[in-house]
Structure 1
Amino acid sequence: MAKIRPFKAVRPTRDKVSLVASRSYQTYTQAEREARLDYNPFSFLHIVNPGYKYAREITGTERYQLVRNRYLEFKEDSIFVHDKTPSYYIYKIVDRDHQVFNGIVAAASAEDYEKDIIRKHEDTIEYRERIFKDYLKTVGFNAEPVLLTYPDNNVISTIIKDIQNTRAEFEFTTTYRDTHYLWKLEEPELLNIIEKEFDSMPTVYIADGHHRSASSYLLYKEEKAANPNHTGHESYNQFMSFLIPESELRIHEFNRLVKDLNGLTKEEFLIQLDTIYRIENRGIMPYKPSKKHHFSMYLDGEFYSLYLRKSLYNFKTALDALDAQILYYTILDPILGISDLRNDVRIDYINGKKDIINVKDRIDSGEFAVGFGMVPVDINEMKQMADDGLKMPPKSTFIEPKLRSGVTIYEF
């Protein structure tokens, strides 16, 4: 049963939360990062980019210690305060497209991760797990929750709606025009009800944050082994998560871009595709597929539709039927020679929330030779993969919502 527990968060003060909250460090361009660091002394970016203070790039364990130093300074300056009672944090996001996400920031169990009560659908890279585990151990906190999803639950939804009728603890709008709200839920009776509802769920699923959860699990194993007085109640037994119902999860695809045709001419490439796909030239009009096993392709100034031939619909596993996997084993690997999707520099990805014209523009610029698009994975496909112990290829899903770093912090 899923152990989802309240915890005592470290949070910015109400007057500074909009200044503190930041996107993930990697999502900023260099110019954006520098502007925020130059003109916003409260940005969480100052914590995760501590070298800014010394006008130099700092990496490795030296950076980890400086991150901790900056974090402690934010606490000493009362930019951050530590809640005194365990709470669930009701969180709501209304994005610029008016999509609404409602969920709960809470502590999930590392033991549940180990027992596959928290289920995974995506492969992780071992060295990245170890690096982030070492980072967590040194800095002593996690500021970006793992996104978990659970079956829609009327009891939890009713409590969330009732709490949202009260004044929010936080309310702020980002420069991306997403509005964020947070309510602190600490009434013992309601905490107990929510806890029991999650306890009744046999599984919950990782939607986004596989490396963060894997690293937190590694930290749990290491700390548990080193602690002769381990009780199971230590803070390292849990990791911060944002849990939303399955119906509110938004899953987008990732489009693939490839730099060259692996030595083939355009005509040779199309002839090889013809064995596997029904091909139709759609001309200059943008085309996006609308069905599973249908793909779009942009090549040499024109869009194409690719329909997997039905004679090849002999799928034995959920992975075999996954469009990202089909694209890999029919085109990317055998024809274009891309066997390592994680590390091959000839391939890049654009999330499907962006317009298909982004794919066209990058190919027309000469940076890439061909691009492919597909329909998004649905929640049932994702769960089936996790239930069967299968792993999707990298960049199979772009999942929303995306929380801001630094709004709630979990200390180890």
Structure 2
Amino acid sequence: MSKIIPFKAVRPASDKVALVSCRNYDDYSAAELAAWLNFNPYSFLHVINPAFAHVQKISLDKRFKGVALKYQDFKNEHIFEQEEKPVFYVYEIESKTQKFTGIIAGTSVEDYQNDVIKKHEDTLQYRVEMFKDYLHQTQFNTEPVLITYPDSVELNTWILLKKQSEPLYQFSTTTKEKHTLWKIETEHDINWLQEHFEAIPNLYIADGHHRSASAELLFEQDKHLNNKNLSYFMSFLIPESNVKIYEYNRIIRDLNGYSKLDFLEKLEENFIIKSKDQELWKPQDKFEFGMYLDGNFYALFYKKSNDETSILENLDAQILYDKVLNPILGIEDLRNDERIDYISGKQSITAIKQVVDEGEYEVGFMLFPSNINEIKDFADNNLIMPPKSTYIEPKFRNGLIVYEL
């Protein structure tokens, strides 16, 4: 049984929403970030980067306090306004090639603790602690956890009906995305939606494992305050079929002392290798890998053993680690080894070709993306995917909906 709740959200004034909401802070180049901060006084980037005006480095504690103060300034200036009562939202993100539609709601920390909300990624404790401290200091969150639920004809029909009503927001961004938000506020609709989710046995985190873990840590730290909002965290719930899962491709700085010929010979122990010359070749199925080395593309077909029956052993990202990255290239720590970097599958493979041709990296590997069933298998069996196994969309805009603690 999955529990969701409406909440009294804080959100931008309707005439400013396109100016306020922004992408994730890390998505901006330094020049792009400076431009937005210089020329758009309404951007939520001013809230999450309060030291910009003084061009100075500050401690995390001071930064978090600065975020809280700047957020309060936005509220005092009526850039943000608060709902009068708890509500849900239907939210749609539409690009040239994709459309994502889901529900913004509060999800239960207790469900997270009891594995009703299931996970498939490991977390770094220092990141969990840091975001917990951020939440404690700022008392708000604007980055929902992306959670999937089983496809439901009944729920899809209900969402389509709600989309016929007048939206609360409808705006476009400079990335050519169209964003539409509908408020769900009647008692009948709220009760219907909660009852529908109560019939769903499990939800699955697609993206946001650190945020959900931080919410749990903050709840355990501050639960003596009897603050109901701490018992929930904001989530964007979408059907399983509506998530877009990309692979994370690997780029490696050197061949660990091997010559090209010796490296190819080592690969042949576990892969059938076919040269693709200058063809921009990508894997077409599981157990296939692309490789770019010394100006040429290669197709690598894994010689799968009948002994490899576990879910982990059959994951392409794990196969590449077990058969190539660790034993041949000497990479043990996928998170911290400076010899490896990652490029999401959303980018063209020409990005891999470019960085290898420029000489900073010596070889690139392309993977076939996982699917939602593979992710659920890991979660259902309490297994953890290797770091950087998936890049999942949609990505939520900062400053669009704020969940206050």
TM-score where L is the length of structure 2: 0.99
1:91 aligns with 2:85: no
> Which position in structure 2 is the counterpart of 1:201?
200
> Which position in structure 1 is the counterpart of 2:391?
398
Task: Kindly provide the CA deviation profile for residues 215-240 of structure 1, in whole angstroms up to 9, marking residues without a partner as x.
Answer: 1111111111x34xx4xx61100000
The DSSP-based 3-state class of the residue aligned with 1:50 is coil
> Which position in structure 2 is the counterpart of 1:376?
369
> Which position in structure 2 is the counterpart of 1:243?
237
The DSSP-based 3-state class of the residue aligned with 2:241 is helix
Q: Is the 8 A contact 1:96 1:176 kept in 2?
A: no
User: Which structure 2 residues correspond to residues 215-294 of structure 1 after superposition, within 5 A?
Assistant: 215-224=214-223, 226-227=224-225, 230=226, 234-294=228-288
The DSSP-based 3-state class of the residue aligned with 2:51 is helix
Displacement after TM superposition at 1:334 (Å) = 0.6
Tell me, in whole angstroms, the C-alpha distance in 2 between the residues paired with 1:132 and 1:313.
Answer: 43
User: Tell me, which stretches of 5 or more residues in structure 2 are unaligned?
Assistant: none
User: Which structure 2 residues correspond to residues 312-327 of structure 1 after superposition, within 5 A?
Assistant: 312-327=305-320
Tell me, in whole angstroms, the C-alpha distance in 2 between the residues paired with 1:264 and 1:313.
Answer: 30
Q: Is the 8 A contact 1:172 1:181 kept in 2?
A: yes
Amino acid at match of 1:250: K
Displacement after TM superposition at 1:154 (Å) = 2.1
Displacement after TM superposition at 1:247 (Å) = 1.0
Amino acid at match of 1:201: I
The DSSP-based 3-state class of the residue aligned with 1:336 is coil
Task: Kindly provide the CA deviation profile for residues 101-120 of structure 1, in whole angstroms up to 9, marking residues without a partner as x.
Answer: 11001001111110011100
Tell me, in whole angstroms, the C-alpha distance in 2 between the residues paired with 1:100 and 1:313.
Answer: 40
> Which position in structure 1 is the counterpart of 2:120?
121
Tell me, in whole angstroms, the C-alpha distance in 1 between the residues paired with 2:23 and 2:306.
Answer: 41
Tell me, in whole angstroms, the C-alpha distance in 2 between the residues paired with 1:160 and 1:85.
Answer: 21
User: Which structure 2 residues correspond to residues 295-374 of structure 1 after superposition, within 5 A?
Assistant: 295-310=289-304, 312-374=305-367
The DSSP-based 3-state class of the residue aligned with 1:341 is coil
Tell me, in whole angstroms, the C-alpha distance in 1 between the residues paired with 2:80 and 2:36.
Answer: 19
Tell me, in whole angstroms, the C-alpha distance in 1 between the residues paired with 2:218 and 2:175.
Answer: 34
Tell me, in whole angstroms, the C-alpha distance in 1 between the residues paired with 2:399 and 2:193.
Answer: 24
Displacement after TM superposition at 1:248 (Å) = 0.7
Displacement after TM superposition at 1:313 (Å) = 4.3
Amino acid at match of 2:361: F
Amino acid at match of 2:56: R
Task: Kindly provide the CA deviation profile for residues 92-132 of structure 1, in whole angstroms up to 9, marking residues without a partner as x.
Answer: 011122x1111001001111110011100011101100010
Displacement after TM superposition at 1:48 (Å) = 0.4
Q: Is the 8 A contact 1:146 1:240 kept in 2?
A: yes
Amino acid at match of 1:151: P
RMSD between aligned residues: 0.9
Amino acid at match of 2:322: Y
Tell me, in whole angstroms, the C-alpha distance in 1 between the residues paired with 2:246 and 2:388.
Answer: 10
> Which position in structure 2 is the counterpart of 1:387?
380
Amino acid at match of 2:310: T
Amino acid at match of 2:128: E
Tell me, in whole angstroms, the C-alpha distance in 2 between the residues paired with 1:398 and 1:321.
Answer: 19
Amino acid at match of 2:92: K
Displacement after TM superposition at 1:314 (Å) = 2.6
Tell me, in whole angstroms, the C-alpha distance in 1 between the residues paired with 2:375 and 2:343.
Answer: 20
Displacement after TM superposition at 1:57 (Å) = 2.4
Tell me, in whole angstroms, the C-alpha distance in 2 between the residues paired with 1:223 and 1:200.
Answer: 30
Tell me, in whole angstroms, the C-alpha distance in 2 between the residues paired with 1:401 and 1:19.
Answer: 20
1:105 aligns with 2:98: no
Tell me, in whole angstroms, the C-alpha distance in 1 between the residues paired with 2:221 and 2:204.
Answer: 24
Task: Kindly provide the CA deviation profile for residues 25-45 of structure 1, in whole angstroms up to 9, marking residues without a partner as x.
Answer: 111111111000000000010
Amino acid at match of 2:358: S
Q: Is the 8 A contact 1:342 1:394 kept in 2?
A: yes
Identity across the alignment (%): 48
Tell me, in whole angstroms, the C-alpha distance in 2 between the residues paired with 1:21 and 1:45.
Answer: 8
The DSSP-based 3-state class of the residue aligned with 1:359 is helix
User: Which structure 2 residues correspond to residues 131-142 of structure 1 after superposition, within 5 A?
Assistant: 131-142=130-141
Tell me, in whole angstroms, the C-alpha distance in 2 between the residues paired with 1:175 and 1:57.
Answer: 29
Amino acid at match of 1:301: G
1:50 aligns with 2:43: no
Displacement after TM superposition at 1:377 (Å) = 0.3
The DSSP-based 3-state class of the residue aligned with 1:171 is strand
Displacement after TM superposition at 1:85 (Å) = 1.1
Displacement after TM superposition at 1:395 (Å) = 0.9
Tell me, in whole angstroms, the C-alpha distance in 2 between the residues paired with 1:411 and 1:342.
Answer: 32
Task: Kindly provide the CA deviation profile for residues 280-338 of structure 1, in whole angstroms up to 9, marking residues without a partner as x.
Answer: 1111111101010110000000000111113x243232111110011011100110011
Tell me, in whole angstroms, the C-alpha distance in 1 between the residues paired with 2:211 and 2:36.
Answer: 25
1:77 aligns with 2:80: no
Q: Is the 8 A contact 1:21 1:406 kept in 2?
A: yes
The DSSP-based 3-state class of the residue aligned with 1:326 is helix
Tell me, in whole angstroms, the C-alpha distance in 1 between the residues paired with 2:267 and 2:46.
Answer: 49
TM-score where L is the length of structure 1: 0.97
Amino acid at match of 1:396: S
Tell me, in whole angstroms, the C-alpha distance in 2 between the residues paired with 1:172 and 1:343.
Answer: 39
Tell me, in whole angstroms, the C-alpha distance in 2 between the residues paired with 1:162 and 1:62.
Answer: 46
Tell me, in whole angstroms, the C-alpha distance in 1 between the residues paired with 2:218 and 2:74.
Answer: 24
> Which position in structure 2 is the counterpart of 1:31?
31
Tell me, in whole angstroms, the C-alpha distance in 2 between the residues paired with 1:8 and 1:96.
Answer: 32
Aligned length: 405
Amino acid at match of 2:23: R
Tell me, in whole angstroms, the C-alpha distance in 2 between the residues paired with 1:239 and 1:249.
Answer: 20
